[in-house]
Amino acid sequence: MKFIDEAKIEVVAGKGGNGASSFRREKFVPRGGPDGGDGGKVGSVIAIADENINTLVEFRIVKKYMAKNGEKGHGADRYGRGADDIVLHMPVGTLIRDVDTDEVVADLTTHGQEVILAKGGKGGMGNIHFKSSTNRAPRQCTPGEDGENRLLHLELKVLADVGLLGMPNAGKSTLISAVSAARPKVADYPFTTLHPNLGVVRMDENHSFVMADIPGLIEGAAEGAGLGHRFLRHLSRTGLLLHVVDLAPFDEGVEPASEALALAEELRKYDEALYDKPRWFVLNKLDVLPEEERAERVADFLKAVDWNHPQPDDEFEFDIETPRVFEISAINRQGTADLVYAIHRYIQRKKELAAKLLAADEVDAVAVVNTTDRNVLKPE
């Protein structure tokens, strides 16, 4: 199925049915009184996150979703028929934004999450509700309310723990195919990858993480060069970025360090928050270089990019603050095991810190409750 990560749709909820103004007409029953029923309830437009869907292509085909209106009320205390809701199944990771107000309507991040996009109007009340001891024959009734009408922009951001970025043909797709069961297209020409790919990297039966591979980014992407910044949004939810660098380019005039710095600048132009995410260097294709040149090539690269970070200190616990450098050959799977193990430890450490922070917040909340002065509730 074609990968579509953006769409614009219009959702229209139904209008509630009008209430009825009616009186009981029956033989031998004079002055039967009001018996107008209410208008029918109407359908809303609801979005549900579905992990079995990975594209917004359906919403490129059908762009308008209208719920049916409620039926008007009838005499003899008969209510109007209601209308069913319209349910839209969307991929997990879809961000829904109102085009007119730029308000974020919903962010579907978990499977089964449900949100009302357009709420249907209420049905009107029949004149049966307006009778009283002083008004035995009310003729007033209320009309049904209009439903909401919204123009929405759908934006899919894939959910992954780790994101791969780099120049075209740097070996990102080869890396994700080497460490996971994903099988993206791999070839020896730039822009082989035209849409994001996800791969699940399994450490054991109980531990795994998701890796995202996006199309290559080149210098000038901010001005629309190559595929532009279109797919960078898919890295915004990741917790760690792997900057894959080709240390053995086919073109001898290409400087890997210059390309790496240019790509970092493109990240800064797109989003400062994305630029500030933890980013590790993954130096790929070392198998192409002679063994005696590898260390020198790596040292020259790190010097050119002004790498001045110390060695991570993992003696007592995994160091998540210090950036890291890995030397691999994705096609031969050399060094990929160490890379995957370090990513796993990084993710686990982040989860541990998040759990401790949550526990500390709960303890503080309990302490506040226990120190509340209850004397204010006692009578003087």
The domain that holds 325 is classified in CATH as 3.40.50.300
Q: Are residues 304 and 170 in the same domain?
A: yes
What residues form DSSP beta bridges with 96?
106, 154
Q: What is the mean pLDDT of residues 204-225?
A: 75
pLDDT at residue 272, as a whole number: 85
Q: If you average pLDDT over residues 336-360, what whole number do you get?
A: 87
Name the residue range of residue 275's domain.
162-357
Secondary structure (3-state) at 253: coil
What integer pLDDT is reported at residue 1 of this predicted model?
Answer: 44
Name the pLDDT band for 185 (thresholds 50, 70, 90): low
Q: How many percent of the chain have pLDDT more than 90?
A: 3
Is 133 part of a structural domain of the chain?
A: yes
Q: Is residue 290 part of a domain?
A: yes
* Residue 48: per-residue pLDDT: 92
For residues 57-62, average pLDDT: 85
For residue 228, is pLDDT > 70?
Answer: no
Lowest average pLDDT, out of 3-7, 79-83, 151-155, goes to 3-7
- Does residue 365 sit within a domain? no
Phi/psi of residue 207, each to 5°? Answer: -130, 135
- Which of the listed residues 156, 188, 215 is the one where a domain comes to its end? 156
Assigned domain for 207 exists = yes
Domain presence at residue 111: yes
Of the ranges 38-47, 131-140, 172-181, which one carries the lowest mean pLDDT score? 131-140
For residue 121, the model assigns a pLDDT of 84
| Shared-domain flag, residues 239 and 292 | yes
* 123 within domain boundaries: yes
User: End of a domain among 124, 156, 188?
Assistant: 156
CA distance 324 to 337: 15
pLDDT band at 287 (very low <50, low <70, confident <90, very high): confident
Same domain (yes/no): 83, 180: no
Please determine, for residue 236, whether its predicted confidence score (pLDDT) is greater than 50: yes
- Residue 166 shares a structural domain with residue 103: no
Count the domains in the chain: 2
Which of the listed residues 136, 156, 176 is the one where a domain comes to its end? 156
Residue 219 has pLDDT above 80, yes or no: no
- 128 and 173 inside one domain: no
**Statement: residue 254 has pLDDT above 60:** yes
pLDDT at 375 over 60: no
Given a cut of 70, whether residue 273 has pLDDT beyond it is: yes
- Shared domain check, 214 and 71: no
Same domain, 193 and 307: yes
DSSP code for 51: T
Q: What is residue 223's three-state secondary structure?
A: helix
pLDDT interval class at 295 (50, 70, 90): confident
CATH of residue 127 = 2.70.210.12
Kindly state whether residues 200 and 321 are assigned to the same domain: yes
What angle separates helix 291-304 from helix 256-270, to the nearest 10 degrees? Answer: 40
In a shared domain, residues 44 and 22: yes
- Give the mean model confidence (pLDDT) for residues 333-362: 86
The burial class, CB within 10 Å (0-12 / 13-18 / 19+), for 104 is exposed
**Is the same domain home to 148 and 180?**
no
In terms of domains, do 41 and 82 share one? yes
Residue 276 lies in a domain: yes
- pTM score, two decimals? 0.70
Cα separation, 217 vs 193, in Å, equals: 11
**Contact between residue 337 and residue 329 where contact means Cβ atoms under 8 Å apart:** no
- The confidence band for 221, taking pLDDT boundaries of 50, 70 and 90, is low
**Residue 176 falls inside a structural domain:** yes
Kindly state whether residues 137 and 226 are assigned to the same domain: no
